[in-house]
Amino acid sequence: MSFRTLHDVTKNIPDLLFVFVAVTTAVMWIIYLYRAHKNIIDTETLFLRLAATALPAVYLIKSFLQFLFGRTSPRNWLISRIPLEFNWFNGSGSCFPSGHMTVITALGTAILLYYPKFRRPVIIVLFLLAASLIITDYHFLSDIIAGTYLGYISTYFFKVIFEKLDLKIES
C-alpha cells in the first residue's frame, strides 16, 4: 500500500479530537466528583483529577499554538501545493503542534504517573499514533515531537501543582 493510497483511504476520516476530549473529560470529572464526595481519595481518584484537568487544558493550549504558528499541513503542502510556511496568527489548517499527539500524550502521561505498570502499552500506543500521523501525511515529525513534549510537560506541571495544593490542604 503506497502513501498515496493511505492518504486516499484516510482523507475523509472526521476529526473527532474535540469530541473525545469533551466526552472523556466530562466522564472523568463526574467519576472524580462522585469519588471525592464519598471521600474516596486513592490512586484512581487522583488519576481522574489529573487527566480530567490536563486533557482540556492541553487541547486549549495546542489550539492557541496552532493559531499562533499557522503552519502548513503536509497534506496541503503535498496535494494542493500550498507553500510550506508559517502563517503567524492564521491557524486555519495548521498542524503544529499535533493536537492528537498532544492530547494522547497527556492522557498517557497521567496513566504513567499513576499506573507505571502500563508503561509498555502506553509507549506502544504513542509510537503507533506518531507513526500513523506521519505515514498518512497528517503531520511532520516536528509536529509530533512538539505535541509529545507539550502533552508530557503540561500534564507533569498539573501533577506538581496538585501535589502542592494537596500538601497545603493537609497542613
pLDDT digit string (tens) for 134-158? 888 888 899 999 999 999 999 999 9
% the chain with pLDDT above 70: 81
Structural domains in the chain (count)? 1
Confidence of residue 96 (pLDDT cuts 50, 70, 90): confident
Give the global pTM: 0.88
**Above 70 in pLDDT, residue 86?**
no
User: CA 117 to CA 127: how far, in whole Å?
Assistant: 17
Q: What is the pLDDT of residues 45-83, one digit of tens each?
A: 999 999 999 999 999 999 999 888 877 777 666 666 666
Interior angle at CA 130, CA 128 and CA 131, nearest 5? 65
Range of the domain at 88: 3-170
